[in-house]
Amino acid sequence: MRTTAIPVHHKRAVPVRRKKLLFSHFVEVTLSLALLLGAAVFAVYVPRSSYFSVQEITFENQRVLGEADIREAAGITVDDNILFLDVDAVRARVESLPYVKRCDVVKSIREKKVHLRIVERKAAATVMLNNHLFEVDRELVVLRELSPFSIHSGPLITSLPDVQVLEAGKAIESPELKAALDLWQAFQTLPFADQLTLSELSAESTTQLRMYFEELPYEMRWGRSDFETQANRLAILWEEMGGFIPCEYYLDLRFDANLACK
C-alpha cells in the first residue's frame, strides 16, 4: 500500500503584524493630533479666558503707602491672566517706590488672587537742602520731599557739603550724613536724651558736627566717628553737674577726656 505525503502550507503572519503596525501608527497619529489640539486650545483660549483673570489683590504690612499707590505701581488689572502673571516684573515695579524696601509677590492660581507683602522703609531723619526738606532712611535713601510746614521726622540735618540735588528713591552719597545718623543713634542712648529737644544737627564734616538744643544756650560739638565714647563722657559730665553744664557758647566733646567748654 502506497502512502503519499501531502505538504501542509502554513499561512503567513505578515498581514497580522501589518495590521498591528497600522493600528499602532493610527494611535500615535491620533494622540499627536489630540496633543496639538490641546496645545492650540491652551495657547488661544486660556490666555484670553476671563476665567483665569486676576480677581483680587491683597496687601500686607503697608503703613505709610496707600493701597491705591501700591496697586498703581504693581500694574495688575482684571485683564491680567493669573497663570501668566510675571511676579518678578510686579515685584520690580512695586520696589521702585521710594518707600518700599522689599516686596514679596505671591499668586494663588486656585483663588485667582495676588498677595503683596510689603516691607517699608522708615524715615530716620530729615535733610534740609536749599530750604527744601527731604525724609531719608537709615540707608541714606531719600523717601520723599516734605512740605516746609510739615513736622519733620527725626533730627533735622543741615549743612551737608557736596550734595547738590536730592531725588526720591535715590541714595545719598554723603559720609557726613552717615556720621550725623550715627551720632544721633549714639545720643539717643543717653539717659537724659528725652529731656532735650534737638532743633538742628549741622553736619559740615565728619570731624565737626554740631547739635543745637532748645533747652541749652550752647552747642555741642562732636566728630571723629567715636560717638559712643563721646556720649559716655557727656553722660558722666551731665550726671556730675546735675545737667547744668556752665557753658555759654559750646561744649566740645571731640578731644578725649579734655572737654572744652566756653
How far apart, in whole angstroms, are the C-alpha atoms of residue 176 and residue 20? 85
Task: Give tens-digit pLDDT for 212-232.
Answer: 999 999 999 999 778 999 999
Cα angle: 116, vertex 121, 125; to 5 degrees = 160
pTM given for the model: 0.76
Q: 31-40, 62-71, 168-177 — which one is most confidently predicted on average? A: 168-177
pLDDT of residue 97: 95
Mean pLDDT of the chain: 86
Three cell numbers written together for 221:
560739638
Q: Which letter does DSSP use for residue 53 in this model?
A: B
How far apart, in whole angstroms, are the C-alpha atoms of residue 127 and residue 149? 14
Residues 136 and 255 in one domain: yes
Residues 156 and 116 in one domain: no
pLDDT of residue 241: 92
Kindly list the distances between the CA atom of residue 40 and the CA atoms of 27, 37, 43, 45, 81, in Å, as whole numbers in the listed order: 20, 5, 5, 8, 17
Of 64, 86, 120, the residue that ends a domain is 120
Residues 156 and 214 in one domain: yes
Q: Is 156 left (phi over 0), alpha (psi -120 to 50) or beta?
A: beta
Domain that holds residue 178: 123-261
pLDDT of residue 258: 73
**Is 82 a domain residue?**
yes
CATH number at residue 56: 3.10.20.310
Contact yes or no for 101/117 (Cβ under 8 A): no
Q: Which of 10-24, 55-69, 78-92, 94-108 has the lowest mean pLDDT?
A: 10-24
